[in-house]
Structure 1
């Protein structure tokens, strides 16, 4: 005997089974859109079988005998990319922390908070490459253009991280400071900032990691650094030099990620240790 018939016999009301018609229609619509987008692309599907062989061939050209003669120049350009990423991260952090705090519910008024969140959303919608192309008309083909593009583009994401971190802080410290007669500025300084500073510093280091990767892409549009060198040698089909440049980018990025990750773990572990010390 089914569960429905048993429930009816003992007088229980069985809720009707939820219809899956809406989710089925939505899945069909998404499937049709994906298929239509694929058909509209100019893709020769018969050549897809040749892709693995081509990847192996170009991989051999790049990495079988890398051209290490240009390693000093590559390291110099990589240093410029790192400098670009660091300046962009600092610009982003300096601007996003105060703006992000003003966008938090417990800090900024609604007339200021809502426009700031809208500004962050607009900035997040624009890729770094587009911002760099716009800045190129003003600042020219210099690494400073890349640093500005990274700094402006990072404000959208970093500002969102800031106000979400501020809003996630426990209310105990804020209530204690308010009980002492403090205003919004004092609560932000003595309650919200000490509790959120470790997470915000960790996010700042993570922004630097992101900028290291993005700076190589910005170099492809003329913003300087290792990306510009990579673009030039790719255009000239000097694959042995391209392979050496890719090795430099991967190795240096992994080293910076390791150092930054260790610092972020140290910051967060120290914050947790201080929090446990206060509770004991």
Structure 2
């Protein structure tokens, strides 16, 4: 009888321990930048101790007894801000969807795709307030200035969403259209657009929600709307009216967010499926089932 000797364990090659040098240096560099930025600003850190008391003081001035006499005008200016946001969103969508589709890697050529992506990046780098200040010299202190600023500023972000959505679509439908002899235009129309349309419409509504918030900020630079009214009464230090305006802004923004969110969910999920027998009583459903059973028995 042969006795087998126990096999020797094989020496395992353990991977080298990862170096922590790069993350450590990165953390040190970020910390140094933060400290340099804080040291370069004229900040009195002792004022932080009095900040809660100041917030309570001005909160009481604004919300203890709001001045509701200016409510009709506040509602009108809020409607102006919503109108600016809606027009800006429409302008943004009308321009960004075709340009964004041309910037997609599976649609546009490289000589067109790269300049469009660079244009979107440049627009995203400029805040809406700066665009509004540049447009003030051309269109003046009107709500149309705010709508144009919102529309132009949204092209950068919306265009990026469009070409990323187009590039993320499955290739099955596109390959089927190409196999049938379709070119780039046919692939875009019959394969990419039907698949990406719900997401793009959802993004358009989300852009509208962003514009509602931004329109109040644009009013601070004279673009009209509830922001201009809020800036004026803040400068005059009429805190009871400022409190009423803040309540109106928050309520209108929350209402528009809820409506837009419900529409976006309906677009992404689609309509619900209704059961054929829903709404029939127990007797009607039973009679229908019995009739179906008799028909089947007759066929047999």
Could you tell me how far apart the structure 2 residues matched to 1:151 and 1:114 are?
22
Shift of 1:11: 2.2
Within 5 Å, give how 1:62-101 maps onto structure 2.
Answer: 62-101=62-101
Could you tell me how far apart the structure 1 residues matched to 2:155 and 2:272 are?
27
Cα 1:130/1:172, change in 2 over 3 Å: same
Within 5 Å, give how 1:105-120 maps onto structure 2.
Answer: 105-120=105-120
Equivalenced residue count is 266
Post-superposition CA distance 1:113-146 (Å, at most 9, x none) = 0110011011011100000001011111000000
Shift of 1:238: 0.3
Could you tell me how far apart the structure 2 residues matched to 1:94 and 1:220 are?
27
Post-superposition CA distance 1:136-161 (Å, at most 9, x none) = 11111000000000000000000000
2:217 alignment partner in structure 1: 217
> In terms of Rg, which structure is larger?
2
Cα 1:97/1:137, change in 2 over 3 Å: same
TM-score, scaled relative to structure 2: 0.87
Shift of 1:272: 10
2:160 alignment partner in structure 1: 160
SS in 1 for 2:221: coil
Shift of 1:25: 1.2
Within 5 Å, give how 1:223-234 maps onto structure 2.
Answer: 223-234=223-234
State whether residues 81 and 215 of structure 1, in contact with CA within 8 Å, keep that contact through their aligned partners in structure 2.
yes
Could you tell me how far apart the structure 1 residues matched to 2:14 and 2:71 are?
74
Within 5 Å, give how 1:119-268 maps onto structure 2.
Answer: 119-268=119-268
1:6 alignment partner in structure 2: none
Post-superposition CA distance 1:155-211 (Å, at most 9, x none) = 000000000111111111111111110010011001100100011010000000000
Aligned-CA RMSD value:
1.4
1:23 alignment partner in structure 2: 23
Structure 1 stretches of 4+ with a deviation exceeding 3 A read none
Shift of 1:15: 2.1
Post-superposition CA distance 1:12-68 (Å, at most 9, x none) = 222221111111111111111111111111011111100000000000000001000
State whether residues 107 and 184 of structure 1, in contact with CA within 8 Å, keep that contact through their aligned partners in structure 2.
yes
State whether residues 198 and 271 of structure 1, in contact with CA within 8 Å, keep that contact through their aligned partners in structure 2.
no
TM-score, scaled relative to structure 1: 0.93
Which structure 2 residue ranges, 5 or more long, are not aligned? 1-8, 274-300
Could you tell me how far apart the structure 2 residues matched to 1:107 and 1:136 are?
37
Could you tell me how far apart the structure 1 residues matched to 2:25 and 2:173 are?
49
Could you tell me how far apart the structure 2 residues matched to 1:13 and 1:219 are?
66
SS in 2 for 1:220: helix
Which structure 1 residue ranges, 5 or more long, are not aligned? 1-8, 274-280
Query: If each structure's helix is expressed as a fraction of its own residues, which one has the higher value?
Result: 1
